[in-house]
Structures are given as structure tokens and as C-alpha cells.
Copies of this chain bind each other. A is one copy, B any other.
Amino acid sequence: MGGAAGRYVFLDGRVLPADEARISPFDVGLLRGYAVFDLLQTLDGRPVLVREHIERFRRSASLLGLEVPVSDEALASAIRELLALNGHREATVRMVLTGGPAPTGMSFDPAAPTLLIVTHEMFAVPERFYTEGAALITCEYRRELPEAKTTNYLTWLLMQARIEESGAIDVLYHDRGLVSEAATASFYLVRDGRILAPDTGVLHGTVGSLVLERASLSRDVEYGPISLEDAFAADEAFITSSVREVVPIVRIDDRAIGDGQVGAVVTELMGVCRRALREMAARGDTEDG
């Protein structure tokens, strides 16, 4: 993974050295996994899609009956302050919200949540994932409360050894015959030039939505149920995530997708995404709305 964690973090309203930041041993995020987060990247040192990530962060919180206790501007400002202090070349920024302290392991005060922001030097995504395409391995699993970006990544962490052994980039979750998403990315197919997107039981993808919105100017985008068989039989497939943008998927388990090469449509979408994010970063309009 490489890189280093930021020396400063934001916790409950103030920026402080990471080694002085103290999460309570009674925090319900720790004792009961009652927490949501969101993650964004920088491009040329500027945070990207900040508004969209904050919006999703608030939506995740709300699905847990929690409220992010500061304004959008205060969040964006804390992110900028951390990035300036931590001096990463490029960074990932993680916002975390938990229900706060729950000494009984049960009741907590929704008005006193724990709000944390940490940053990390961006990790390098192997270039070959983009040039040769990447693989997924399937895993039967349905995320709990899939529309919320909760901190529960148990299954994904337990799959790490198998992901590494197989050289895959991530796992593809499926349940009762339908695929939903990768553990850390959205998943889409290309069939007959159209883009197919799973429509239920998935997290809203910030980069995925941007790509599909741009792509829809020139081709059909269809939302609906997608079976594992649909995935295996697709012409092309790809995942999207904030830190990896668009990655072509050329293999799922031991099955080649299409001809097993990076296809024309996904190549086009990689460019669309790259240009869109860099234009937005350069204009700074993702930062200030």
C-alpha cells in the first residue's frame, strides 16, 4: 500500500496531531460497528467531488439516524486544512461518523456523534490494471444496508488473501443470483454498446455516477437487475471508485469477459472520467460547489 498517514487529523471539531487524537473505548463505532464513512481523493493536491462525497456521507449518516454535526463548508474547510498540514503529494481523505460513546454498548446520544477526518498519501494503483485490465473474484454476500457506506468491511478483509492469491483487484458481490457491486467499487457492464448498471442494493457511486452521466450523452445507460450470467456474458465490464477512477475488468473468476482484452467502450470511459475529474479539479468547482 505504501505512503503514510497524515500527521494531523480532524476530530470532533478540531485539528490535532494524530497521536493525540483519542477515540473513546466506549465509542459505538468501535463496540458495535455503528458508523459510516466516505472517502475522496485529490488531483493535483485538490480534493475532488467534495460536494458529492459530503452529500453521500450525510445520506449514509441519515440512514443510521445520525447527523453530520457540522456544515458542508466546515467539512470542506477541515479537509483543506488537513491537506495543507499533512503535505501529501496526492491524498485520500476519509471522513468517519459514528454514533459516539455508548458505555452500555447499546444506547448512545445521536446528538453527540464522533466525527473524524483522516488523510493518507494516495496509494499507487498498478498501471497494468488500466492497460491490461483487472480481474474480480465473486463472493456471495449482500452488504447490510447497502445504500449506506458503513464501516463494515469484514467480508472484504477476510477475502484479502484470496484476492491477492488470484491477482484480482477486488471481489464482486452477488446474492440470490444478482450482482451488486465490488467491495470497494461500483460495477458496470457494457452490452451491445449500452452500459448496464445494477439498480438496487448498491451504494451510489460518486465517480460511477459522473461517468454514467457523461457517457449518457452519447450512449444508452440502463439501470436494472444484473445476473452473474449477464456479467459473464458481457462484452466489457468495469469498476469505478474514487481512488481508482475507471478500471477495465477483463476476467471474473476464471471466465474471460468479452475477448479478455480492454475494450473500446471502457477505454473511452477511462478517458471521459480522467478528463472530467481533471477539468473539475482545475476549475475548483467540485470544491466549492
Contact = CB atoms under 8 A, between A and B. Distances in A.
A33 B145 contact: no
B104 A31 contact: no
B31 A96 contact: yes
A140 B64 CA distance: 18
A144 interface: yes
A153 B34 CA distance: 7
A99 B157 CA distance: 10
B104 A30 contact: no
B29 A30 contact: yes
A107 B25 contact: no
A28 B107 CA distance: 22
A61 to B, nearest CB: 13
B154 A144 contact: yes
A107 B25 CA distance: 21
A155 to B, nearest CB: 6
A116 B155 CA distance: 23
Interface stretch (A16-24, A207-215, A223-231, A281-289): A16-24
B26 A27 contact: no
A272 interface: no
Interface in A1-52: 1, 3-5, 9, 11, 18, 21-35, 37, 39
A154 B35 CA distance: 9
Copies of this protein chain in the complex:
2
A116 to B, nearest CB: 5
Given A3-B104, A5-B103, A104-B3, A30 B23 contact: yes
Contact of A30 (B35, B64, B150): B35
A105 interface: yes
Given A18-B25, A25-B9, A25-B11, A153 B103 contact: no
Report which residue of A4, A18, A29, A141 has the largest number of chain B beta carbons within 10 angstroms of its beta carbon. A29
Report which residue of A3, A4, A25 has the largest number of chain B beta carbons within 10 angstroms of its beta carbon. A25
Contacts of A152: 32-33, 144, 152, 154
A120 interface: yes
Contact of A158 (B30, B98, B145): B145
A141 B33 CA distance: 16
Given A22-B22, A34-B154, A145-B155, 20 more contacts: A1-B106, A1-B107, A5-B103, A18-B25, A21-B22, A23-B23, A23-B30, A28-B157, A30-B30, A30-B151, A31-B94, A33-B151, A39-B105, A64-B154, A64-B158, A104-B120, A104-B123, A106-B160, A144-B144, A145-B158
